[in-house]
Each structure stands twice: as structure tokens, then as C-alpha cells.
Amino acid sequence: MLIRAGMLPVDAAARFAGRTALTTPGGTQTFAELDALANRVATGLAALGVGVGERVGVLSHNRAEVVHAWLGCERAGIVRVVLHSHFDMAAHADLLEQVGARGLVFDTRFAGDVEAHLDRLGDLLLIAVGEETPSWAISWADVLAAGSPVAEPLDVDEDSPAFIQPTSGTTGPPKPWTVSHRSWAAVIDQNLHHVDTFAPGLEPVGPSDVVLHAHALQWATGFQLLYPYLVRGARTVLVDDSAFDPAHVLDVMLAEGVTGLLLPAPMLDPILDLVELYGGIDHYLRRLVVFFATPEILERAAVLLGPVWCHGFGSTEQGAVTTRLLASDVAEDPERITSVGRPASPFFEVAVVDDAGRRVPAGRLGEIVVRSAMSIGHYWGMPERTADAFLPGDWFRPADVGYLDEDGFLYYVDRAADSIPTSSGSVYPHAVEAAVLKHPAVANCGVVGLGDDRVVAAVVLKDGFADNEVLRADIDRTAAPGLFPHERPEILVVDELPCVLDGAKVQRAVLRERLAAGS
């Protein structure tokens, strides 16, 4: 079936033309202005020789041009290749070569890294966004000048690629997941239903809402919240994500009247520290989506901000909150706070299966599998990996382990590949990390196995705490309840953890290598 590429933002521009669509440190843009800039990107890239279906990488911290590139590429049928800023340039070059990219749009803050890899990137159309365009690239202004504020509608096959979203790289090199126009529409549907049913009695997202993107826009915050707010006429606010400043994020949240926000728990925790320090705040938040949370952080958020949160769960390949635990779910039954909730919409299925792919009874541990139109995709150029990612019946395998209860709530245990074998049984790092993170001195934690039944918890301390034997023993005592003896880890304080996306996920394989090399 043919569909118009990038139709939803075009429709939003027609309905909300004069309203403010985007706020950044550089100023504001109305929906009509945003639409014209997206058209200039679409037609400008075409004028520079980028054709429908060709791939263009986008590497940037949060800025207005990322939104322009996102919308412009989509309506031109150009496949945007997301390049996460936490990967090194060699990984980006590998990915661009793998997908046969035609061009690269890059923030000039990455110019040195790009230049160092011109032997691999020099044949691409290199487009610089920001100050001081290098001599070997063309400027973003040149792209806009080559384009037009008006673009002709483009029909594309709904099963053709819309963009490529690489996995987050916690378990190895990023894998290029290809999102079709049809699966992208399913992601948007899922996210719209999710935000519209966030809490009992809460009105659907509308023009009075304001969504803040303080985390990397091309990761979950944009994937899940950019379109639901944009298509409803709400205002989008961007904060530069090159360095996380919790005080600045909180200031922007209050000054802009933010009603919607997505944050990984490691970024939310220091913001909650500030809220507590201030003795509470008057805020406008209605929807706070938290990923990678512990029960303690969710309970703390409820106390300091109110019942405005949900704990989201999902994978890159789904692109949306797949299951979600709402504050109202916990109000009905406090025991649910250790779960990741139920499906966020009726368009999504989740099951837990055994090694033969058969559903297991409630309460039994197994492999988590999911099914929806969001899973219609493939890993670019990796047919065997794509085949391995599906079970018969079109069930997608995120490679996670967990169980369902009698009410359909999902309990996530860990990544299947991260299980630590010991002589007394398997240890799942996620559960141990959650136990260690209960201690008020711990900012972040990663748990790995180093062989010979040795389980190590590497922790980063919050400001104001110093490493000593007494503190390590206290962290161990805090973590011990609920852990079996073979799960109790050795506590090791480190200066930093190998993480992706501002601490959102610990790269356990890298951590294991580092600790093994130093042991």
C-alpha cells in the first residue's frame, strides 16, 4: 500500500500553523515555520543528489536542526540513520558502511571525530550543522538555500524503510534495526494510546501541553514522545544533552511549564535530590515516563512529584513503551511496584515462553516475547540475525527474561545473555543492581561475574560520599535482604562506569573486561 511520507507533521502544521511548535536555546518556531524548514531540508537534500531510499546519518546533540532533519528526511523518503552520540566515531563509520550511506549530517562539535575518519567517510556527502563549517564539508545553510519552503507530496510503499534505529550497544556493537513506514505508524499509534491513557481522568495530550526532551532526542525520548505531542499541537522544548545538568533541566522544566518528560532513572534521581533540597516544587508535570527505575525511585518520585509517573519498558526494535506500570496500578496493589506493568495499548501482545517457544504458566520464569505491528522490521544486511530474532507466529524476541502474574503484569528479571552462572545457581545482575541502588550513597551500579562464583557490584558514589570499608559494608548490608547468599556481591567503588546514553544503561560486557583486567 502507498502512503504519503511524513504525513502527520504536515497535517499538524495545517491545523496548528501559528502556534509555537519548538522552543530551543536559539529561539522558537511555529508549526508553519517548522514545516517550511522541514520542506527545505527535504528539497535541499534532493537538490544535492540524495535520492528516495538512500541513507543519511544524523549525528548531533539536541538542537532544532535534528527535528528539521528528522521531519525533512521522512517526507523526502530519505532513510535517516540514527547515530547515538555515546558511540565512538569508528562505530559510526562501521554502521554507515554497513547500510551503504549516501551522506552524514553532523553537529560541528563532532567535526574533529569526523575529520579523523575521513579515510572512511570522505566519499559521503558531509553536511555540518553549527558554527565554523570545516572546509571538507558543506554547511547546513547551504542545504536550506538549495531547498524550497514548499515540497510536493511523496508517496512511498508503507513497507519501505523510514529510518534506521541502531540498538543501544549494551551487549555488543550496535545493530541497525530498520523501521518501516508501517511499523513507524504503529509506534506512533502505540505512543498516542499510551500518553492518552496515562492516568484515570487525565485529559488527552493537546495544544496546552509542553514536552521536554532533556535526554538524547534520537533515543527513547524522541522515539516515544516527539510525535504524540507534535501531532496534537503541543509545544516541544529541547535541552542540549551534551552534558547533563540536573539543576538546569529542573529550571527549564519549571520555567517552560513542562507537562511531559521522559528520563532514565539515573538522570531522574539527581533531579529528585534537588526537589528534596528545595523542600518541594510547584510543577505542571502530568506525564513522567521513567525507564530503568527501581521501586525506591518510583516511590520517591511519587512523594516528591505526585502520582504523575509511569515505569516504561521496551526495546529499540519496538520503539515505544511496550508495557508500562502506572502510578494508579500501584495504588490498587502496592506489590506491583516491582513489575514493569501491562501492555501500554491493545495493539501490543506480550507472552513468556519456554525453550520450545511454548507459553508458560503465570509465575514461571521464561523468555519474554512480544508481537505487534511495531515489530515489522529487520536488521539491515543481517538476515540470519533477523531470523533468530523471531519465533514462529511472528513473536519478536527482545532477549529478556521474566514472568507474568495472574493479572497480566510483567516482571522483568534481566537480559538473557547477562545471567551469571555460579555453582549455587544463576545470578541475574538486574536484581542485584536494584538491591545495591537502594543505598542512598550509590549513584549508579553495574553487576558482573568474574568467574569462580565471584559476583562484583561496581558502584559510583554520589557527591559527598567517599570510599571506605565502613561504607562498602553498609552498602552490602542494605543490599542483602532479598538476595540469596550466592547473589550477594563484592562491593567495589569505581570512579565511573562504562555507560550508554548518560548512564541509562551500563555496558556490562565492557565493565567485565575492565574489572577482569584489573583483578
The closest of 40, 96, 99, 97 to 73, measured between CA atoms, is 40
Above 70 in pLDDT, residue 397?
yes
Residue 509's pLDDT is what? 85
Residue 425's pLDDT is what? 76
Residue with cell 542494605: 478
Q: Is the distance from CB of 238 to CB of 230 less than 8 angstroms?
A: no
What is this structure's pTM? Answer: 0.89
Length of the chain: 519
Query: What mean pLDDT comes out for the span 106-113?
Result: 97
Provide the greatest CA pair distance for the chain: 68
Q: Report phi then psi at 156, rounded to 5.
A: -135, 155
**Half-sphere exposure of residue 198: CA atoms within 13 angstroms, side-chain side:** 26
Residue with cell 547468599: 485
- Annotation: CATH topology of 419-518: GMP Synthetase; Chain A, domain 3 (3.30.300)
Position 519 confidence tier, pLDDT thresholds 50, 70, 90: low
Position 351 confidence tier, pLDDT thresholds 50, 70, 90: very high
- CATH code of 2-174, in short, is 3.40.50.980
Helix axes 31-47, 7-15, angle to 10 degrees: 140
Per-domain boundaries in the chain? 2-174, 182-348, 419-518
Residue 506's pLDDT is what? 86
For the chain, what percentages of helix, strand and coil (3-state, to nearest 5) are there?
35, 25, 40
Position 284 confidence tier, pLDDT thresholds 50, 70, 90: very high
Query: What mean pLDDT comes out for the span 187-208?
Result: 97
Position 355 confidence tier, pLDDT thresholds 50, 70, 90: confident
Residue with cell 502510578: 327
The CA distances from residue 66 to 58, 69, 229, in Å, are 8, 5, 16
Q: Which has the higher per-residue pLDDT, 422 or 66?
A: 66
Residue with cell 508500562: 324
| pLDDT tens-digit map of 309-321 | 999 999 889 887 9
Q: Report phi then psi at 350, rounded to 5.
A: -135, 145
Query: What mean pLDDT comes out for the span 120-124?
Result: 96
Say whether domain 182-348 belongs to CATH 1.10.10.10. no
Residue 284, classified by CB atoms within 10 Å of its CB into exposed (0-12), middle (13-18) or buried (19+), is middle
Residue-wise over 309-345: b if at least 16 C-beta within 10 A, else e? bbbbbbbbbbbbbbbbbbbebbeeeeebbbbbbbbbb
| pLDDT tens-digit map of 404-458 | 999 999 999 888 888 888 888 788 888 899 899 999 999 999 999 998 889 999 9
Residue 173's pLDDT is what? 81
Q: Which has the higher per-residue pLDDT, 506 or 392?
A: 392
| pLDDT tens-digit map of 206-249 | 999 999 999 999 998 999 999 999 999 999 999 999 999 999 99
Above 80 in pLDDT, residue 170?
no
The closest of 181, 189, 186 to 162, measured between CA atoms, is 181
Compute the chain's Rg from CA coordinates.
23
Residue 171's pLDDT is what? 62
Position 100 confidence tier, pLDDT thresholds 50, 70, 90: very high
182-348 matches 2-174 in CATH topology: yes
Give CA–CA dist 444/503, Å, rounded. 8
Give CA–CA dist 486/455, Å, rounded. 8
Q: Is the distance from CB of 236 to CB of 23 less than 8 angstroms?
A: yes
The closest of 348, 325, 349 to 338, measured between CA atoms, is 325
Average pLDDT of the chain to the nearest whole number: 94
The CA distances from residue 301 to 287, 304, 328, in Å, are 12, 5, 14
The closest of 36, 27, 39 to 235, measured between CA atoms, is 27
* H helix or E strand, kind and range, residue 251: helix 246-255
Q: Is the distance from CB of 449 to CB of 421 less than 8 angstroms?
A: yes
Query: What mean pLDDT comes out for the span 108-122?
Result: 97
Give CA–CA dist 308/424, Å, rounded. 41
Residue 211's pLDDT is what? 98
Provide the percentage of residues in the chain whose pLDDT is more than 90: 84
Residue 423's pLDDT is what? 85
Residue with cell 502505540: 190
Give CA–CA dist 103/223, Å, rounded. 22
Angle formed at CA 302 by CA 296 and CA 303, multiple of 5 degrees: 90
Q: Which has the higher per-residue pLDDT, 429 or 98?
A: 98
Query: What mean pLDDT comes out for the span 106-134?
Result: 97
